[in-house]
Each structure stands twice: as C-alpha cells, then as structure tokens.
Homo-oligomer: A and B are copies of this chain.
Amino acid sequence: MTAAMQDPSAPEARPLSQTQRAIALLREMIISNKLPPGSNHLESELAVMLGMSRTPIREAAIMLEAQGLVEVKPRHGIRVLPIAPADMEEIYSILTELESLAAYNLANSQPGDAALAELRQHIDEMDAALAADDRHRWARADDAFHRSLIRLAGNRRLETVVTTYSDQVHRARLLTLFMRPAPSASNNDHRRLVDAIAAGEAEAAQAIHRAHRIDAKNMMLKLIAAHGFSAV
C-alpha cells in the first residue's frame, strides 16, 4: 500500500459501506419529503438512483422498515409510510413519556455546568432565530435542544427510541413549521425546564416537559386537521 492511496487533505478516510450510505441517503430523502409518503419504489429504481446494486438497497430497506419509515411489501416494492393523526397520537404518547423521563433523570443526576450551558446555548440560538424570524433555523435549534436533553440523560437506548420516533414525525413538524404561530411560548417552557433541571427539581422538570410535549402534540394535530390533511 502506497502513501498516495491516503488522501491527507481529507480528515476522515473511512470508506463507509454502501449499505450505510443507502440507509443515510434514503432516510434523509424520506424525512425531508423528497420521497413522498405513500410512494412506492422498486429496488432496482432506488439502486440506479443511488448508484449501487440492489443488495445494499435491500439491506437498507430492512433497516428503514425496522425504524418504521418504510414498508417492504413482498411484490409491490418499498413504500414510504404515511403518518396519519392516529400514528401521531401513538408516537407523541411515547415521546412525551420518554422525554419527560429523560428530563427527570437528568435533573436527578446533578448535571455539570457544561451540560447546562449546552442546553442554554440551544435556547439562545432559538431566541436568535426567532428574532431573525428564521423558522428553519429555529427548528434546527429546537431539534438540537431535544437531542441534547436526551443524550445528557445518559440512557443510550432511550436515545435510540426517541430518535426513531422523532424521525417518523419529522415530516409533520416540517409541514406545520410555517402554519403555527411564532414559537416564542415554546422557548419559555425550555427555559423553565432547564432551570428545574439545574435546581435538581426532577418532578418539576418532568411535569414541565410533559406539558410542553402535550401542548405541541395538540397544536400539531389541530393544525394538520385544520388544513385538511388526513396523512403526512
């Protein structure tokens, strides 16, 4: 092996398997709505689209099916699953419970200043996005806040589950992002949550986050119904 095979300019030199690429690319296309809900896709079609053979596509489809993003129908190809209001009820019910648990556990774990600063930084970013009236930026910061909250709680499996179900409702959040009123009240909840966590008030943190999630769910369902969507 010669040194010329290594590319010193690239910081990461891992090849990344085709299957991993397929999973990442398809997931991205699904949650960003490039592959619309309800659409069907042949393995060969996706294989051509991503420039690989059918094998890694099949393997990716199995993974994405396990994550609830697609359905592999024996003779009808790979179907992007739509999310109906009933699905959102299911998902938010789980997310509410598990994220509140994360808040509770984090509050009990006496998090260090670094952890609290990380959370507050995301809140500041949300405020800045609100001031700039940039909703996409706000949504990214909101995402980051919730991910940090879960990660800092220190339960990796909980992180996995929450990520899985957050992915499933990602399209719905995108859809309602511009329907909803400016999410300034939401940031109040976030600040109160971090304060409760900092003070070690576990039950308060849990209650605050639970209420926050329930409000978010109700608003989203109302918006989607009001705009006449039966699935997303």
Q: Tell me the A residues contacting B by CB distance below 8 Å.
A: 19, 58-59, 62-63, 66-68, 87, 90-91, 93-94, 97-98, 101, 105, 155-158, 160-161, 165
Contacts and interface: CB of A to CB of B under 8 A. Distances in A.
Given A59-B62, A62-B62, A161 B94 contact: yes
Contact of A105 (B19, B91, B93): B93
How many copies of this protein are present in the complex? 2
A91 B59 contact: no
B97 A101 contact: yes
A38 to B, nearest CB: 19
Contacts of A156: 90
B90 A157 contact: yes
Given A66-B63, A67-B66, A98-B97, A157 B105 contact: no
7 contacts: A62-B62, A63-B63, A90-B158, A94-B101, A94-B157, A97-B98, A161-B161
Contact of A91 (B66, B68, B98, B157): B157
Given A59-B59, A90-B157, A94-B98, 4 more contacts: A62-B62, A90-B155, A157-B165, A161-B161
Contacts of A105: 93
Contacts of A59: 58-59, 62
Contacts of A98: 94, 97-98
A90 B157 CA distance: 7
